[in-house]
Amino acid sequence: MNFRLKFGMDVNKSKYSLFLNIVQILIFVIIAFLIGCGEDDEIELPVKPTLLEPLNNSSTTNLSLYFEWSSVNGASNYRLQIDNNSEFSSPEIDIEINEESYSLANDISLGKYFWRVTATNSENLIGKPSEVFTFTLVSAWAPKEPMPTARDGLAIGVVKGKIYAIGGHDEFYGFVGINEEYDPITNSWTAKAFMPYPKVDFAIGVVGDKIYVLGGYSDNWEPQNLTQRYDPQLNIWVRKKNMPTERNGLAVGVVNNKIYAIGGFHNGLDTNEEYDPSMDSWSTKTPMPTKRGFLAIGAVGNKIFALGGENDAGWSDLNEVYDPQNDTWSTVAPMKRGNSINSWPVEDSYFSVAVVQDKIYVIGGYRIGNTNIEYDMTTDMWIKKQSPSIGRFRHACGVINSKIYVIGGRDRDGNIYASNVEYNPVIDE
């Protein structure tokens, strides 16, 4: 009897111990589960980045936009989205980067855009998107009244706030002496006295409100050394002393009321000749270091920048500087589509150059018809600016009130333009 009781007690005790063990295990599992849940609860998603640049609701002409946002603690990368609708259903730009900034390398169309940034941490946990900002790309280019006569291979002189578009080929590829005056104030054209000797691929320099036309091809495709002067006030043409060297595809710079006729063709020339209108005399100066034709020139700070062109070796991106005071040449930064090491070089000819506020603008060209790059001689740097809506070459440029008028020219398909567009570099920042 005692044996049975003891046995029963041992059995009950064993059952009780087993029960306690099970309870302990369950408590341990529950605690571990709760701790695990707590750990999960402590994992924080990346916070929303704060957008910094471009500012919300801003407008810009700069197609090479710079985007910047705040750093997010723990973020390993960011997703930048740019779209022309607020739903981001088909983003123009959708890129993941590991920095807090991004420079837009490719052009996007004009219009209104939305942008946002999302952060991702090292555990690939994605935070909520930032606030959505908007910006609008506007044009620094405006169409103006076209020339009455479509032409390429023309040249332009600017006198007293008016543009004189002279010579060139017409749409039938005939050599013309047409001279048409453009007034930006009235946005209108007026026919003026024809140039006596029709030609193309010549150059123009303006001194003392007179337009000097130098060289070029005559209608028998022979290079000329002819010098002609046009007086817009009297609307008359006169012959002046011929250049020493016959040539076409030359370029001209004016410094201290003297005209420097540089380069040209056949097969590229290094010729540099100075014309003094007050004496009607020519003198030979130090040749350009590199033979080139169909180059262009910008004169800034009493120095002449000879840009691009072509010769037997091909197209050039050269930027060689002539100092008339010392009769010396030097070389500075070649033409390219930006200032970074990886920026594309601009090796071209048949483009046109304009100078506004001591900066040189290279517009158009045979190879890259929609080029628009700016050179700053104080920094020796090139910057890509907003491209024109149409590409062209063999056109001409004139500057009035810090605005550049790009006139005439042609495209690679042989279409000759009467087009006249105004570019405002002041707002293209």
- Which of 220-224, 246-250, 266-270, 343-347 shows the lowest per-residue confidence on average (mean pLDDT)? 266-270
Name which of 211, 206, 207, 246 is nearest 226 in CA terms.
246
| Tokens of residue 228, six digits | 């002609």
Residue corresponding to tokens 């337009």: 211
What average pLDDT does the segment 98-121 reach?
Answer: 89
Spelled out in words, what is the top-level CATH class assigned to the domain 51-137?
mainly beta
Query: Which CATH superfamily hosts domain 141-423?
Result: Kelch-type beta propeller (2.120.10.80)
224: which DSSP letter? B
Find the mean pLDDT for residues 83-91: 94
For the chain, the structural domain boundaries read 1-43, 51-137, 141-423
Give the model's confidence band at 60: pLDDT under 50 very low, under 70 low, under 90 confident, else very high: confident
d(CA 266, CA 293): 8
- In DSSP terms, 146 is beta-bridged to none
**Order of all β-strands in the sheet with 359-363:** 352-356, 359-363, 372-376, 381-384
Tell me the per-residue pLDDT of 359-375, one tens digit each, with 9 for 90 and over: 999 999 999 999 999 99
Question: Looking at residues 317-346, what average pLDDT do you find?
Answer: 92
Q: Percent of the chain having pLDDT more than 90?
A: 78
Sign of the dihedral through C-alpha 217, 399, 263, 388? negative
Q: How confident is the model at residue 3 (pLDDT cuts 50, 70, 90)?
A: very low
- Contact predicate 294/300, CB 8 Å: no
SS3 readout for 242-309:
CCCCCEECCEEEEECCEEEEECCECCCECCEEEEECCCCEEEECCCCCCCEECCEEEEECCEEEEECC
Please give the pLDDT value at position 26. 66
Q: Comparing 344 with 52, which gets the higher pLDDT?
A: 52
Confidence of residue 220 (pLDDT cuts 50, 70, 90): confident
Tell me, what's the pLDDT at 104? Answer: 83
Whether residue 159 has pLDDT greater than 90? yes
The three-class DSSP label of residue 65 is coil
How many other C-beta atoms lie within 10 A of the C-beta of residue 214?
A: 26
Please tell me the distance from the alpha carbon of residue 242 to that of residue 248, in angstroms, as a whole number.
14
Which strands sit side by side in the sheet containing 396-400, from one edge to the other? 141-144, 420-423, 403-407, 396-400
Q: pLDDT of 274-321, one tens digit each?
A: 999 999 999 999 999 999 999 999 999 999 999 999 999 999 999 999
Q: Do domains 51-137 and 141-423 have the same CATH topology?
A: no
**Residue written as tokens 């941490």?**
121
pLDDT band at 173 (very low <50, low <70, confident <90, very high): confident
State the pLDDT at residue 11.
Answer: 47
The reported pLDDT for the residue numbered 376 is 97
